[in-house]
C-alpha cells in the first residue's frame, strides 16, 4: 500500500494528526463507492479540505460485477482508480488505508496505512459510506465454501471456481464427481443471484460449447435457491414471473420457499435434501461494514445506521452515513440499497456540508427519487420497473445496456465494455476466461 502525501509526510517524521490549511474545514469521507465519490464531487467547489479513505485503490461499478465473475468482462473494465480524482479536484486527497477506530468526542479517525502504521485524522465533518458485505445469517462458517460477490477479488474467486470446475470435470473419470463439479448452486434470488445464474447458463451453453472432449458443459446443472416465495421480490410479481420463465428457458432450476441449512465442501443441504456441488455461490443477504459500529449509533438488524432527514446520526449532527451503510424510511418504505440511491444520498450530503460551511441553512430534507429498477436475465432479455412503467424483453435489454454503458466511471471503460459486449454478442465468446493462479511453492 502507498500513502497519499509522501513528500509532505516523510515516514521518519510522520505526524499523528492530519494537517489542514488554516481556516478550512476538514471533511473525511470513508468509502470510495457510489455514495463517497458522489459526495466528494459535490464538494468540488466548497472551501474545504477533503480526505477520502478507502482500503482499495479503485471504485467498482458493482452492477456489472457479475460479468467479471462469469468472464464476460475483465476487472479493469468496470473499475477506475480513486486517485485519479485528485488530479481533477484540488481540494481532495486520497488515502489508501483501513479505518480502525472513530472517536466522536475528539473528532478523530484512526486509519491503518498498512506497513506505514496508524495515523490519526481530525475532521469537522465525517461521512461513512462503506457499503455492505455478504451476510450469512449467523452461519459465517458458510463463507469458506460459498463466496459472496461484493469486490473484484470476490469476482475473480468466483470466476476461478466456475472455470476450474469444468477443468476438474474433464480430468476425472468418476461420474459422481464429474456431476458434482458441473453442478452450480446459487443461494439468493435477488438481482445478483438472477443475473449471475443467467450468465452462467449462457456460459455453459454457448461460450464453452465444443471446448472439451470428455464433457458437455451444456449438461451442467444450475440451481437458484431462495427462502422467499418468488425471485426478485423487489419487483412487481408479473415481472418476477417473466424473469422466472426466462431462467427456466435458459435451463436454470429455480427453487423458492427453500432455506439452506448447511454449506460444506460437498455442496449444500436445502430443505433436508443434499445437492452435491463443487461451486456454491452466496447471493443472499448483506450486512453493513463494521465501520458503522464504530459510531456507536443505533443500527438495524443488518448493521446499517439509522439516519435522520439530513443523513446524519442523532449523536453528532456533523457525522453522516450514506449509501448501503445507512437505513431510512420514506413514505413508509425503506430507501432501497441500490446504486442510484447511494449516488443521490452522497450528493445530498455533499451539498449539506457545503451549505453548513458557508453558514447557510440545510434546506429540504433528503428525498429519494426512484428512477426505476432494472435486472438483466441473460442475452436479449431484461426487466424494468418505474413508477409508471413495467416492461420486459429485448428493447428493455437494449435500454439496460445503454444506461449501464453511460453510467460507467470513465470514457475508456465505456469504450472497452461496448467493444467487449459487441464481440461477445456476435461470437458468443468471453475474453476473460482466466483461472487465477495461487501462490507458488519454492519448488515449483
- The mean-pLDDT minimum among 16-20, 240-244, 288-292, 439-443 falls in 16-20
- The mean-pLDDT minimum among 111-120, 171-180, 228-237, 324-333 falls in 111-120
Q: Could you tell me the pLDDT band of residue 434, with boundaries at 50, 70 and 90? A: confident
pTM: 0.90
Question: Which residues sit opposite 409 in a β-bridge?
Answer: none
What is residue 285's predicted lDDT score, i.e. its pLDDT? 84
Segment 25-58, tens digit of pLDDT = 999 999 999 999 999 999 999 999 999 999 999 9
What is residue 14's predicted lDDT score, i.e. its pLDDT? 39
Segment 263-312, tens digit of pLDDT = 999 999 999 999 999 999 999 988 999 999 999 999 999 999 999 999 99
Q: Could you tell me the pLDDT band of residue 141, with boundaries at 50, 70 and 90? A: very high
Helices 191-202 and 237-250: crossing angle in degrees, nearest 10, is 20
Interatomic CA distance for residues 320 and 309, integer angstroms: 11
Q: Is the pLDDT of residue 209 over 60?
A: yes
Q: Is the pLDDT of residue 439 over 80?
A: no
Active site residues: 195
The DSSP secondary structure of 289-341, one letter per residue, reads -GGGGGGT--B-TTSPEE--TTSEETTEEEEEE-GGGEE-EETTEEPP-SHHH
The DSSP secondary structure of 27-95, one letter per residue, reads EEEE--SHHHHHHHHHTTTSSEEEEEEESSSEEE-GGGHHHHHTTSS-GGGSEEETTHHHHH-TTEEEE
Q: Which three cell numbers stand for residue 403?
A: 444506461
Interatomic CA distance for residues 337 and 192, integer angstroms: 13
| Domains of the chain by start residue, with CATH | 11-65+73-134+287-358 (3.50.50.60), 140-284 (3.50.50.100)
Q: Is the pLDDT of residue 5 over 60?
A: no
Q: What is the dihedral of CA 24, 29, 32, 37, to 10 degrees?
A: -50
Across all residues in the chain, what is the average pLDDT? 91
Amino acid at each position: 500500500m502507498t500513502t497519499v502525501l509522501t513528500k509532505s509526510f516523510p515516514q521518519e517524521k510522520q505526524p499523528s494528526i492530519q494537517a489542514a490549511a488554516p481556516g478550512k474545514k476538514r471533511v473525511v469521507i470513508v468509502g470510495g463507492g457510489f455514495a463517497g465519490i458522489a459526495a466528494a464531487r459535490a464538494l468540488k467547489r466548497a472551501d474545504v479540505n477533503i480526505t477520502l479513505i478507502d482500503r482499495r485503490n479503485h471504485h467498482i461499478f458493482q452492477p456489472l460485477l457479475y460479468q467479471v465473475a462469469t468472464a464476460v468482462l475483465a476487472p479493469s473494465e468496470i473499475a477506475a482508480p480513486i486517485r485519479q480524482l485528485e488530479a481533477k479536484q484540488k481540494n481532495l486527497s486520497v488515502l489508501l488505508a483501513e479505518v480502525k477506530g472513530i472517536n466522536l468526542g475528539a473528532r478523530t479517525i484512526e486509519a491503518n496505512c498498512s506497513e506505514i502504521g496508524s495515523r490519526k485524522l481530525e475532521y469537522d465533518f465525517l461521512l461513512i459510506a462503506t457499503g455492505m458485505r455478504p451476510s450469512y445469517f449467523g452461519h459465517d462458517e458458510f463463507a469458506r465454501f460459498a463466496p459472496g460477490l461484493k469486490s473484484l477479488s470476490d469476482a475473480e474467486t468466483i470466476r476461478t471456481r466456475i472455470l476450474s470446475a469444468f477443468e476438474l470435470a474433464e480430468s476425472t473419470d468418476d461420474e459422481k464427481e464429474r456431476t458434482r463439479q458441473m453442478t452450480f448452486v446459487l443461494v439468493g434470488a435477488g438481482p445478483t443471484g438472477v443475473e449471475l445464474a443467467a450468465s452462467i447458463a449462457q456460459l455453459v451453453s454457448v461460450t464453452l460449447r465444443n471446448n472439451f472432449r470428455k464433457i458437455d458443459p451444456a449438461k451442467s446443472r444450475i440451481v437458484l435457491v431462495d427462502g422467499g416465495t418468488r425471485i426478485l421480490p423487489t419487483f412487481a410479481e408479473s415481472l418476477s414471473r417473466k424473469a422466472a420463465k426466462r431462467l427456466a428457458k435458459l435451463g436454470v432450476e429455480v427453487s423458492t420457499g427453500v432455506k439452506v441449512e448447511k454449506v460444506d465442501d460437498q455442496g449444500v443441504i436445502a430443505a433436508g435434501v443434499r445437492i452435491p456441488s463443487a461451486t456454491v455461490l452466496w447471493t443472499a443477504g448483506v450486512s453493513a461494514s463494521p465501520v458503522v459500529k464504530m459510531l456507536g449509533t443505533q443500527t438495524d438488524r443488518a448493521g446499517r445506521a439509522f439516519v435522520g432527514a439530513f443523513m446524519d446520526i442523532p449523536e453528532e449532527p456533523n457525522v453522516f452515513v450514506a449509501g448501503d451503510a445507512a437505513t431510512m424510511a420514506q413514505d413508509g418504505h425503506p430507501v432501497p440499497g441500490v446504486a442510484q440511491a447511494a449516488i443521490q444520498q452522497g450528493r445530498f450530503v455533499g451539498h449539506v456540508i457545503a451549505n453548513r460551511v458557508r453558514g447557510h441553512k440545510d434546506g429540504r430534507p433528503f428525498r429519494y427519487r426512484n428512477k426505476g429498477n432494472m435486472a438483466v436475465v441473460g442475452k436479449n432479455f431484461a426487466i424494468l420497473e418505474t413508477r409508471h412503467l413495467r416492461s420486459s424483453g429485448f428493447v428493455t435489454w437494449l435500454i439496460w445496456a445503454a444506461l449501464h454503458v453511460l453510467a460507467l466511471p470513465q470514457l475508456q471503460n465505456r469504450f472497452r465494455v461496448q467493444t467487449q459486449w459487441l464481440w461477445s454478442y456476435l461470437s458468443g465468446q468471453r475474453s476473460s476466461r482466466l483461472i487465477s493462479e495461487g501462490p507458488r511453492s519454492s519448488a515449483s
